[in-house]
Amino acid sequence: MAIWDDILTEQDKIVYERAGWGKPGGYGRRPALLVVDVIYNFVGDPELPILESIKTWRYSCGTVGWDGVRALQKLIGKAREKRIPLFYTTWERRVDKLDNGRWNGKNWRVDDPIDVIGHHGNDIVKEVAPQPQDMTFVKKKPSAFFGTALASYLIDLGVDTIILTGTTTSGCIRATAVDGFSYNYYVIVPEECVWDRGEVSHKINLFDIQQKYGDVVKLDEVIAYLDGLPDGLFADKLPESARG
């Protein structure tokens, strides 16, 4: 049973099946791991149930976020073992909110200072923090591609597959999945490694990604895929510190 089956109507299931959606897109041969906004703002610090966590951290996904962090640790460990390139995103805003754009009009707590430049909330969670050879971008909008150099680095590395992780499923993950699809990358989403503050939003956006933009799969399948790749795929591109 897929994670979204309990929220689909019977008509939805029939329509998508008969229309031919949901065919597995598969994997390419040169993946990169993309870790989107795994910062304290989106999980809280310390770990608390969401209704407690959002009292301080308005973006927080609570315990499900920390469950995702723990799953992501396993995937990052395997990616480093196979010397797959890693890309991270974070985000932050100016004190005057000038760089916040339309975000300023979509949340009643926009004056909370937790996402201001220099705040701990913008720090990538230490359990999955980048290493010196990894690439990290500050983004201002949902997609990791929008306004960043991400695509140019993927092109330079010859990447054909994006393993997409992080948060939130309905926002930055979906937007990045759509953009990755639009650039003709294979998009792979390990289900355990993405999360959202909204249960229904999480499920229905995973459903949409699976139907149209990529493959939503179990973490064990992604790890098996990485295990099956030859060693040294990016040896001619990555710095010596990343080659082992």
Catalytic residues: 172
Give every CB contact of residue 32 below 8 A, 6+ residues apart in sequence.
84, 85, 86, 87, 154, 157, 159, 161, 162, 163
Q: Do you find a cis peptide bond into 168, omega within 30 degrees of 0?
A: yes
Residue 43, CA distances (Å) to 49, 70, 136 in order: 10, 12, 19
Q: How far apart are CA 90 and CA 146, in angstroms?
A: 13
Q: How far apart are CA 48 and CA 170, in angstroms?
A: 21
Amino acid at 206: L
Q: How far apart are CA 96 and CA 20, in angstroms?
A: 48
